[in-house]
């Protein structure tokens, strides 16, 4: 089976790999190469790395997960055996990497999946000291998160313009794979603009053959000038190990997401206001299309930029601002990565004729549900749309976007970032299902949650 794996936050384990590394480290070092050959200095990445590596940090997070036994939910059982009326917990610990991008304000960029759902986040900087980190914001759809640590004697990595990257450019990945400590790997840019990978919402990845391994998530991909060109995110792996196909989030995208998370606490995305599907061979024949590429408009939302511009169901969108649209996902990627309010040229095929429609994207208004109005057990909780990556995999439900630590739900184990996919074992197709089931005030409120790669039940008292 082929897997797209995040270079994931790594459970803290010391095993054979670490023992082997320590054994090798204790052995004899190979003879050093001469500094010069025929009067020419040997090329080395060391001078660049001496400037870049102090900006790379290790991120350790702890997530408390409620563990319940159905017997403990029985009041007679609790009273008979003297079991306290409170949920038991287990603590998950994980490791990842990050990069300091603003030394004066202490901002650190990393992956969302490194800190998703974490209750406690610690950052260890290059000189070895560890500090507590504040979570500024996360964006699951691009797998990015921004942390803040106390400023003072920090080193930041300058950002490069990732739009200037070319296939074949040399790059270096820095991180802390397998908890071994800071590690550097090198390679080239293998491809640009990669999309269509499972498990991520908006995709515009840099592909590289620089080795990216578990624990590298959130670490920087740098050019030979020591500038940040990407945030390492995931690997393509048939076996779970590195096979030379890794993916990084471009620095330009990361910079825009970071700016919005710092300013708004969330990311505001543009929306054209259409629902669409891929062009299938049957649709191509029905619509008289020679090319079986594009996104067929199936619905135009009222008062949307698309309606105002005259887009109609049956139109085939083939480009957006000059970028080719080959599928519905291409449309969502380009649409979601375009700034709200930006003017766009929409290339359309209508009844076999090519048209260009001009409009401006509108802010994509996300769903917001207040737990206070649904059920007292959910007071202090705010719900929103689930990440697009999950929605495209057919997952229905709602996501916890905010939760007060003083709330009953938080005390019972609910956390920001959790995705609720069922209520009392009834699967959710939409947020409307969630609102309907919860507002009925059932006597028992048991939620089925997705948190990172885990799925479990949570009973709200």
The answer to the question of residue 306 being in a domain is yes
**Residue 224 CB contacts under 8 Å (≥ 6 apart), including other chains:** 45, 48, 170, 171, 172
Tokens at residue 96, please?
């990842």
Domain holding 414: CATH number? 2.30.42.10
Task: Let me know whether 100 and 234 are in one domain.
Answer: yes
In a domain, 34, yes or no: no
Q: What is the mean pLDDT of residues 414-420?
A: 89
For residue 16, what pLDDT is reported? 37
Residue 14 — very low, low, confident or very high, per pLDDT cuts 50/70/90?
very low
Asked if residue 342 and residue 355 are part of one domain, the reply reads yes
Residue-level pLDDT at 65: 59
Concatenate the DSSP letters of all residues of 66-96 into one string: EE--GGGG-HHHHHHHT--SS-EEEEEEEEE
Q: Say if CB 195 and CB 173 are below 8 A apart.
A: no
Per-residue pLDDT band at 362 (split at 50, 70, 90): confident
Which member of 9, 113, 139, 141 is catalytic? 113
Both tokens assigned to 51: 């400037």
Inside any domain, residue 287: yes
What integer is the mean pLDDT of 26-38?
53
Q: Distance between CA atoms of 11 and 61, rounded to whole angstroms?
A: 10
CA–CA distance, 12 with 93 (Å, rounded to integer): 7
Q: Is residue 223 within a helix (H) or strand (E), and if so which, with residue range?
A: none
pLDDT at position 158, please? Answer: 94
Same structural domain, 315 and 350: yes
The predicted pLDDT at position 148 comes to: 93
φ/ψ region of 132 (left if φ > 0, alpha if ψ in -120 to 50, else beta) reads: beta
List for the chain the helix, strand, coil content (%; round to 5).
20, 35, 40
- Indicate whether 111 and 132 sit together in one domain: yes
**Does 430 map to a domain?**
yes
* Coil, strand or helix at 259: helix
Q: How many of the other CB atoms lie within 10 Å of CB of 239? A: 9
Per-residue pLDDT band for 7 (boundaries 50, 70, 90) equals low
Domain co-membership, 189 together with 332: no
Indicate the helix (H) or strand (E) that contains 109. Answer: strand 107-110
Integer Cα distance of 273 and 254 in angstroms: 25
pLDDT at 1 over 50: no
Amino acid 190: pLDDT = 92
276 shares its domain with 346: yes
| CA dist., res. 211 & res. 276, Å (int) | 37
Do residues 304 and 404 share a domain?
no
Whether the predicted pLDDT of 211 surpasses 50 = yes
Of 160-169, 306-315, 422-431, least confident by mean pLDDT is 422-431
Q: Please say which residue of 239, 265, 291 terminates a domain.
A: 265
In a domain, 400, yes or no: yes
Overall average pLDDT of the 137-152 stretch:
88
* Whether 352 and 387 share a structural domain: no
In this structure, the dihedral spanned by the alpha carbons of residues 263, 385, 407 and 260, taken in order and rounded to 10 degrees, is: -10
- The two tokens of residue 116 are 């998703």
Q: HSE-up of 155 (CA within 13 Å, CB side)?
A: 16
Q: Which of 363, 397, 424 is the last residue of a domain?
A: 363
Please report the pLDDT score of residue 385 as a whole number: 78
Contacts of 297 (CB under 8 A, 6+ apart): 274, 275, 276, 306, 311, 312, 313, 314, 315, 316, 317
Q: Evaluate if residue 383 carries a pLDDT over 90.
A: no
Max intra-chain CA distance, the chain: 86
Check residue 72 and give its pLDDT: 52
Are 392 and 277 contained in the same domain? no
Give the integer Cα–Cα distance in Å for 130 and 143.
Answer: 24
Other beta carbons less than 10 A from residue 214's beta carbon: 23
Residue 306 has pLDDT above 70, yes or no: yes
Chosen domain end from 363, 396, 419: 363
pLDDT of residue 198: 60
Residue 7 covered by a domain? yes
Annotated active-site residue in 143, 209, 330, 385: 143
Token pair recorded at residue 163 = 């739009």
* Within a domain: 76: no
Whole-angstrom distance, CA of residue 207 vs CA of residue 250 = 10
**Lowest model confidence (mean pLDDT) among 13-27, 217-231, 442-456:** 13-27
Q: What integer pLDDT is reported at residue 36 of this predicted model?
A: 63
pLDDT of residue 243: 64
* Average pLDDT of the residues of the chain: 80
Tens-place pLDDT, residues 323-354: 888 888 788 878 877 778 888 899 999 887 88
- Give the CATH number, domain containing residue 133: 2.40.10.120
Structure tokens at 326: 């080959």
Which pLDDT does position 5 carry in this prediction?
A: 56
Is residue 251 domain-resident? yes
What is the mean pLDDT of the segment spanning 100-106? 93
Residues in the chain: 461
pLDDT on residue 105: 93
pLDDT above 90 covers a percentage of the chain that reads 23
* Predicted local distance difference test score (pLDDT) of residue 392: 63
Strand partners, 137: 146
Q: What does the pLDDT average to over 91-107?
A: 85
Mean pLDDT of 372-376: 83
Residues 6+ apart with CB under 8 A from 404: 380, 381, 410
Q: What is the pLDDT of residue 333?
A: 78
- Asked if residue 288 and residue 415 are part of one domain, the reply reads no
| Same domain? 188 vs 143 | yes
pTM, rounded to two decimals = 0.66
Q: Which pLDDT band holds residue 180 (cuts at 50, 70, 90)?
A: low
Who has greater pLDDT, 65 or 191? 191
DSSP 415: -
In this prediction, what percent of the chain has a pLDDT beyond 70?
79
The total of structural domains in the chain comes to 3
As a whole number of angstroms, the distance between CA 56 and CA 61 comes to 16
pLDDT at 80: 55
Q: Tell me the residue range of the domain where 390 lies.
A: 368-460
- In this structure, the answer to whether residues 409 and 275 fall within a common structural domain is no
> Do the bridges between strand 134-139 and strand 107-110 make them parallel or antiparallel, or are there none, so unpaired?
unpaired
Please identify which of the residues 94, 217, 233, 431 carries the catalytic annotation: 217
Query: Is 217 among the catalytic positions?
Result: yes
Can you say how many angstroms the Cα of residue 219 is from the centroid of all Cα atoms in its chain? 13
pLDDT digits (tens, 9 = 90+) for 427-451: 887 777 888 888 888 888 999 998 8
């Amino acid at each position: 089976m082929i897997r797209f794996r995040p270079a994931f936050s790594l459970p803290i384990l010391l095993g054979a790999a670490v023992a082997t590394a320590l054994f090798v480290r204790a052995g004899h070092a190979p003879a050093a190469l001469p500094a010069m050959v025929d009067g020419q200095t040997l090329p080395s990445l060391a001078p660049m790395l001496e400037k870049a590596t102090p900006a790379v940090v290790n991120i350790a997070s702890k997530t408390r997960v409620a563990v319940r036994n159905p017997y403990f939910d029985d009041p007679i059982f609790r009273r008979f055996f003297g079991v306290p009326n409170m949920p038991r917990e287990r603590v998950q610990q994980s490791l990842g990497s990050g990069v300091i991008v603003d030394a004066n304000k202490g901002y650190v960029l990393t992956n969302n999946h490194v800190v998703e759902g974490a209750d406690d986040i610690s950052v260890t900087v290059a000189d070895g000291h560890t500090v507590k980190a504040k979570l500024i914001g996360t964006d699951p759809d691009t797998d990015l998160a921004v942390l803040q640590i106390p400023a003072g004697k920090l080193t930041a990595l300058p950002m490069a313009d990732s739009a200037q990257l070319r296939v074949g450019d040399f790059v270096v990945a820095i991180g802390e794979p397998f908890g071994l400590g800071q590690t550097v790997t090198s390679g080239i840019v293998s491809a640009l603009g990669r999309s269509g990978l499972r498990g991520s919402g908006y995709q515009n990845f840099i592909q590289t053959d620089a080795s990216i391994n578990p624990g590298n998530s959130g670490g920087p991909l740098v050019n030979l000038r020591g500038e940040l060109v990407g945030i390492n995110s995931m690997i393509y792996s048939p076996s779970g190990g590195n096979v030379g196909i890794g993916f990084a989030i471009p620095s330009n995208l990361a910079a825009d997401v970071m700016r919005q998370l710092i300013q708004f606490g969330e990311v505001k995305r543009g929306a054209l206001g259409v629902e669409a599907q891929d062009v299938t061979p049957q649709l191509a024949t029905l619509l008289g299309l020679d090319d079986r590429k594009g996104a067929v408009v199936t619905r135009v939302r009222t008062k949307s930029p698309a309606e105002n511009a005259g887009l109609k169901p049956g139109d085939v969108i083939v480009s957006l601002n000059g970028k080719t649209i080959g599928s519905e996902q291409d449309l969502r990627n380009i649409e979601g990565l375009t700034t709200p309010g930006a003017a766009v040229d929409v290339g359309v095929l209508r009844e076999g004729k090519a048209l260009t429609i001009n409009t401006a994207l509108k802010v994509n208004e996300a769903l917001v549900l207040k737990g206070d109005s649904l059920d007292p057990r959910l007071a202090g909780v705010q719900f929103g749309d689930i990440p697009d990556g999950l929605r495209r995999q057919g997952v229905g439900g709602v996501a916890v976007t905010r939760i007060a630590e003083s709330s009953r739900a938080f005390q019972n184990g609910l956390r920001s970032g959790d995705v609720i996919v069922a209520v009392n074992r009834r699967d959710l197709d939409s947020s409307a299902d969630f609102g309907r089931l919860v507002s009925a005030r059932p006597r028992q409120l048991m939620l089925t949650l997705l948190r990172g790669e885990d799925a479990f039940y949570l009973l709200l008292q």
